[in-house]
A and B are shown apart, each in its own frame.
Chain A
Amino acid sequence: MGWPHGSCESAVGTAGEPQGERAVYGLGMSIYEHPIASLDGQPFDLEALQGKAVLVVNVASKCGLTPQYTGLEELQRTYESRGFTVLGVPCNQFGGQEPGSADEIATFYSSTYGVTFPITEKVDVNGQKRHALFTELTAEPDAAGEAGDIQWNFEKFLISPTGDVVGRFRPTVAPDSEELVGALESVLPN
C-alpha cells in the first residue's frame, strides 16, 4: 500500500515509482471492487477508474468548504486529459451539511459550480455503517501520520492508476495547494 507513515515527501516519492500489479486490500479486494452507486442510483463502475489517477473527496453542499468545488473542478478540467478524475462522494455525517435528496445535490453542484466530475450516492464515511470504500481509504495516514476517521467535509484521498492510496489530504488542504497538486502530478499516467 501507498505511503510510509509521517512523510508526505516520501509518499509522493513512492507514488511516483512504477507500480506493479494493482493494489489489493483487506479481504482480497482491490479498491475498485467495492460496489457504490452513482448519485442517480445507477451502479457506478469503479473498475472503469483503473489506470487513472483519482482524487476521492467526501463533499457537502452547505459547508464553509463547499467553494472547494471550484478548485476540484479546475483540477478535473486541467488534468482529465492526462488520465485523472475527481470522484465526489456526498456525505451528511458532518454537521448535517449534505441534507438534500440526490436531485437537490445534483442541481446544486451542477448549477452552482458547473461540476463535470462524477458524483456517487450519499454514503457514510465514518462509523459502523461506513462504506467499504472508505474503510480502505481511512486506513491510510495523512502527512502527519494520522489514519482513521475522516475529520470533516472535503477530505481528499489520492489513488494511483494501479489502485494504491498514495495521499491523504485533510479538509483545509486546498485543491490547488502545492502539496496536493505535486502529489497528483507525480501519479498521472499520461
Chain B
Amino acid sequence: MSDTWKTVKAEKVKAGDSVRTQSGDVVIVSRIEQSFMGLPTMLAFIEDTPDRWFKQPMMADTEVEVLSS
C-alpha cells in the first residue's frame, strides 16, 4: 500500500509527520515551535535529523500536505 499525502491545516501536524510545503519542500517534523517569534497565529516546523536542521515557519491555519508517521 503506497503512502498517501493528505491536506490538513498546519496546526494539525504532529511530530513525526512529513510535511510538503507550498514551495514543494518536504520537512520531516522533529518538533513544532508554537507562537513563532512570539506570534500566536504562527508556528514553525523544525527538522532536526543527522542530515539536516531546518526551520519552516507558517501560519497555523495554512493548508499543507502531510504524510503521517
Contacts and interface: CB of A to CB of B under 8 A. Distances in A.
A128 interface: yes
A130 B37 contact: no
B57 A130 contact: no
A96 interface: yes
Range of interface residues on B (Cβ < 8 Å): 10 to 19
A81 interface: no
Q: Is the interface of A mostly helix, strand, loop or mixed?
A: loop
B53 A128 contact: yes
Q: Among the interface residues A127, A129, A151, A171, which one has the most CB atoms of the partner chain B within 10 A?
A: A127
Contacts, number: 29
Interface string B16-53: 00000001010000000000010000000000101011
Contacts of B54: 93, 96
A152 B53 contact: no
B25 A129 contact: no
Contact of A127 (B37, B48, B57): B48
Contacts of B37: 151-152, 171-172
12 contacts: A93-B53, A93-B55, A94-B55, A96-B56, A124-B53, A126-B53, A127-B52, A127-B53, A128-B50, A152-B57, A171-B37, A172-B37
Interface of B: 23, 25, 37, 48, 50, 52-57
Interface of A: 93-96, 124, 126-130, 151-152, 171-172
